[in-house]
Amino acid sequence: MNREEARKRAIELVSKMTVDEKASQLKFDSPAIERLGVPAYNWWNEALHGVARAGTATMFPQAIGIAAAFDKELMKEVGEVIATEGRAKYNEQSKRGDRDIYKGLTFWSPNVNIFRDPRWGRGHETYGEDPFLTGSLAVPFIKGMQGNGEYMKAAACAKHFAVHSGPEGERHFFDARTTKKDLEETYLPAFETCVKDGKVEAVMGAYNRTNGEPCCANEPLMNGYLRGKWGFEGHYVSDCWAVRDFHENHKVTKTPEESVKLALETGCDVNCGCTYQKVMSAYEKGMIDEETITRSCVRLFTTRFLLGLFDKTEYDDIPYSKVECKEHLDVAHRAAAESIVLLKNDGILPLKKENIKTIGVVGPNADSRGALIGNYYGTSSQYITVLEGIREVIGDSARIYYSEGCHLWKDNVSNLSDQSFPDRQSEVQTVADYSDVLIVVLGLDERLEGEEGDESNQFASGDKLSLELPESQRKLLKTALECGKPTIVINMSGSAMNLTEADEKANAVIQAWYPGALGGRDVADILFGKVSPSGKLPVTFYSSTDDLPDFKDYSMKNRTYRFFKGTPLYPFGYGLTYGKCAVTSMDVETVALDGEFDGAKVTVTVKNEGSAATEDVVQIYIKDEEYELAIPNPCLCGYERVSLESGEEKSVVIVLDRRAFTSVDEEGNRELFSKKFKVYAGTSQPDKRSESLTGVACLEKEIEI
């Protein structure tokens, strides 16, 4: 069913409703209208990395981990799995009359906010710090979820529009101030891509204000960009209880009715929260007219008709047996394997089972389920922690010694009266003494980085106070590294941490993110060489927040790899493999359309000169050589995951669209301001730190268009 037909049916149905009935449908928990055959529908469902909060489902790595795979095809498969399992659940629940929260087909994912600062607690819900990478991964995820059948399989939602990335503790009253240049250059491109290329069905507004106006009633954003320049035709949803913030926290209105008027008239169609319970009160007071209510109601029913919720569809027979089936679990395993980033390796990895008789595994995340799941997660029927994964891979070939070592964050030394978390430093030393190799598993979980309001948040309303590991873990790491045994450090977090000590003293360092319910097995497969690591960092790892601007400053100066002037600990786009892949040749050919420059075609040869088969990611970057206001550092503009046997070489073609060559002026105008550019190709970004870590430089070519 196309949108035109769905909209006509929506107009016809809504025309039969009373004003009160229309108003009732603008709440996230829309009640049934029995006289018209309209069942109840709850708009609130989640699917950040698998169907969430709705019982059993396939759980993928957290979004930041999937982003580290740099794999567009994988993103589409993840979206398809989510839609299939969502439909299977919907079919069973709806036939039993269960239409409660988390039971619908409107999934409030993906989160395409830019992870501009590593302190932001919700950054692990995103696809990282780069607008191009974020948009290019979000589009196949959306297309996989929404499908290409006669009806929409499930409805995706790009959130949180816009200029939203902390601080969590102030989000209900915070005003994110940004320039027109930063808007167009950083904060809006991923949303534009989701709308224009992904045809995303919904957009969710953020809690904060942007340049003085609340994001769920922001005229320039919602009607200037979204429904204006970009031509968005879907529905707009508020973040949960964000409209209430208008009068309670932002103070841009004085009453709930005034907030209803502002949100509805600006174009916020459905309210997650309580304020739209006052729609009829605002109507009866003459503050809003019926036409405004009708407009939003029609948009919402257009989506419901597109989903086929009033028809027989090709998805009605998807059985419950599809939930967490082997085929879907295989995709989750692949996602976890591709997401893991090898940051350092002096040759100790991969471990050889035949050379190891005893293995020490220590650290609070070694046997933690919490470190597998991130936030916005579903329930798995099985969990495999890193310790369990190592045990599965090793079998009876070696003895494993284990110590939790310390609590995840509580300092068990400073308070000797606290007997809940006794000091285990001596146990770590004992484990090390008895082990041939020591694996230290540290990091965070959703209690230490997450969303404001989550009951489990321990500090800073979900944001991080610094990039340092908790003191208890720093003590553990120091103890482990001083034991003198070959040591591998595995960090499980959703954001950049200061891993300087591990980088300097450990034999290998791995960033495992939150790898999903079964992700511990995938970590173990990489440790022992069943799989070669191939993930790349979608964010910059800094050594300290001292290198960064104030967290509340939304200017992009000295933020992310595109603007950072310092030397990162680990750069964006960086990640090692067990092979030795390098781009050995590059050709750039400009492309014209109707006689006008329309982009370029980059053809590279990539070769694995190592002894191990691996996947790697070819990355293309571009830098404007003339325009004084161009982004100062080379920017990612294309990438392709490639599989290479030992000694194998392949030709890879990556097409760069015209937009890759544009820049943005101070007024937010994006245009082609230059003729001279430098194009780079490699398996990392073209910076000195990446070259020093990998030992391989990017190829570069100057072009004139």
pLDDT tens-digit readout, 515-545: 999 999 999 999 999 999 999 999 999 999 9
239 annotated active-site: yes
Report the SS3 class of residue 75: helix
Gap between the Cα atoms of 86 and 91, Å rounded = 9
Catalytic residue among 77, 117, 449, 463: 449
pLDDT at 455 over 70: no
Q: Tell me if 373 sits within 8 A of 50, measured CB to CB.
A: no
Gap between the Cα atoms of 467 and 282, Å rounded = 47
In the chain, what percentage of residues exceed pLDDT 90?
Answer: 96
Domain boundaries for CATH 3.20.20.300 within the chain: 3-321
Mean pLDDT of 591-604: 95
The predicted pLDDT at position 412 comes to: 54
* Lowest mean pLDDT across 447-461, 556-570, 596-610, 661-675: 447-461
* DSSP assignment of 238-286: --TTTTHHIIIII-S-SSHHHHHHHHHHHT--BBSSSGGGGHHHHHHTT
Gap between the Cα atoms of 635 and 637, Å rounded = 6
pLDDT in tens, 153-197: 999 999 999 999 999 999 999 999 999 999 999 999 999 999 999
pLDDT at 421 over 80: no
pTM of the model: 0.97
Mean pLDDT of 604-620: 98
In one-letter notation, the amino acid at residue 319 is P
pLDDT in tens, 471-493: 999 999 999 999 999 999 999 99
The predicted pLDDT at position 213 comes to: 98
* DSSP assignment of 330-399: HHHHHHHHHH-EEEEESS-PSP-GGG-SEEEEESTTTT-SHHHH-SS--B-S----HHHHHHHHHTTSSE
Mean pLDDT of 559-579: 98
The predicted pLDDT at position 676 comes to: 98
503 annotated active-site: no
The predicted pLDDT at position 416 comes to: 46
Gap between the Cα atoms of 233 and 269, Å rounded = 12
* Other Cβ atoms closer than 10 A to 627: 18
pLDDT in tens, 266-325: 999 999 999 999 999 999 999 999 999 999 999 999 999 999 999 999 999 999 999 999
Mean pLDDT of 94-104: 96
pLDDT at 413 over 60: no
Gap between the Cα atoms of 116 and 556, Å rounded = 8
pLDDT at 327 over 50: yes
Catalytic residue among 239, 463, 525, 616: 239
Parallel, antiparallel, or unpaired for β 581-593 and 614-624?
unpaired
Residue corresponding to tokens 């196949």 = 140
Farthest CA pair distance, the chain:
80
CATH architecture assignment, domain 3-321: Alpha-Beta Barrel (3.20)
The predicted pLDDT at position 537 comes to: 98
The H helix count followed by the E strand count for the chain is 21, 23
The predicted pLDDT at position 417 comes to: 45
Residue 597: beta bridge partners?
592
Q: What is the third-level CATH fold of 581-704?
A: Immunoglobulin-like (2.60.40)
Residue 236: beta bridge partners?
203
Q: For the CA atoms of the chain, what is the radius of gyration?
A: 26
pLDDT at 418 over 80: no
pLDDT in tens, 129-147: 999 999 999 999 999 999 9
The predicted pLDDT at position 49 comes to: 98
Domain boundaries for CATH 3.40.50.1700 within the chain: 340-539
The predicted pLDDT at position 366 comes to: 98
Domain boundaries for CATH 2.60.40.10 within the chain: 581-704
pLDDT at 419 over 70: no
- Looking at domain 340-539, its CATH class is alpha beta
